[in-house]
Chains A and B, each alone.
Chain A
Amino acid sequence: RKEVEQDPGPFNVPEGATVAFNCTYSNSASQSFFWYRQDCRKEPKLLMSVYSSGNEDGRFTAQLNRASQYISLLIRDSKLSDSATYLCVVNFSNYGQNFVFGPGTRLSVLP
């Protein structure tokens, strides 16, 4: 079983739609969780960290469920500029360097 798994995608949604991505992780000792966004032929950029209480940043909402070992990302009112690959990243230790990336979920927002 892979350490971090994501919805395979691709997700093709119309502008204005709401879309949700899920990510599961295998290591219950995981400490930190992140969503990164990667545009084609560019480096990943931090979208948001994911906190235990859940957090929201504008149209983006991240949730963490430690009991079930999954995190989610919800995008409301999708924009064309949201088209990208979304990477789930899990750090298995706050003191170590074990950042593990999911395979990514590709989103295309269509006009």
Chain B
Amino acid sequence: GAVVSQHPSRVICKSGTSVKIECRSLDFQATTMFWYRQFPKKSLMLMATSNEGSKATYEQGVEKDKFLINHASLTLSTLTVTSAHPEDSSFYICSARDQGLSSGGANVLTFGAGSRLTVL
């Protein structure tokens, strides 16, 4: 089946620094990827839709200058948390939609394993 790799799985950084998280589709091409944020015991919150070769689409209330998204190829999207603040500490998860053979064309979302960010 489709596999999405997300890296790093854990990162600890100091306030004011920037952190980059990578999301790769390993066996399929993804023109669109999604970035979510999840707080403890809460559901996923869609932050933005990453579009290959064009600007990301951000959800209401998500600062695009704070959360930079780049989707430079059909298999890689990156999320950079800039000037990190302790409030940015969270679980960030990416996903990609696989419409190919591995999903039987079923329009299924596959998730990366998530990145746990802790800002000190």
- Closest chain A residue, CB of each to CB of B97: A97
- For residue A41, CB closer than 8 A to chain B, the reply is yes
Cα distance, A45 to B113, chains bound together (Å): 10
Are B111 and A99 touching (Cβ within 8 A)? no
From DSSP, what is the main secondary structure of chain A's interface residues?
A: strand
Determine the chain B residues whose CB is within 8 A of the CB of A87 once the complex forms: 43-44
Size bracket of the B interface:
20 to 34
Q: Kindly identify, within residues 25 to 63 of chain A, every residue whose CB is under 8 Å from any CB belonging to chain B.
A: 32, 34, 36, 41-46, 49
Are B109 and A43 touching (Cβ within 8 A)? no
With A101-B43, A103-B43, A104-B43 as known contacts, state yes or no: A43 contacts B111, CB within 8 Å.
yes
Q: How far is the CB of A73 from chain B (nearest CB, A)?
A: 16
Determine the chain B residues whose CB is within 8 A of the CB of A36 once the complex forms: 109
B residues engaging A (CB < 8 A)? 6, 32, 34, 42-44, 46, 49, 91, 93, 97, 106-114, 116
Determine the chain A residues whose CB is within 8 A of the CB of B42 once the complex forms: 103
- Closest chain A residue, CB of each to CB of B109: A99
Are B113 and A49 touching (Cβ within 8 A)? no
Known: A87-B43, A99-B46, A99-B109. 7 other contacts (CB 8 A): A43-B113, A46-B110, A49-B106, A94-B107, A97-B49, A102-B43, A103-B43
- For residue A91, CB closer than 8 A to chain B, the reply is yes
Kindly list the 5 A-B residue pairs having the minimum CB-CB distance in the complex, ordered from nearest.
A43-B111, A103-B43, A43-B114, A104-B43, A101-B44
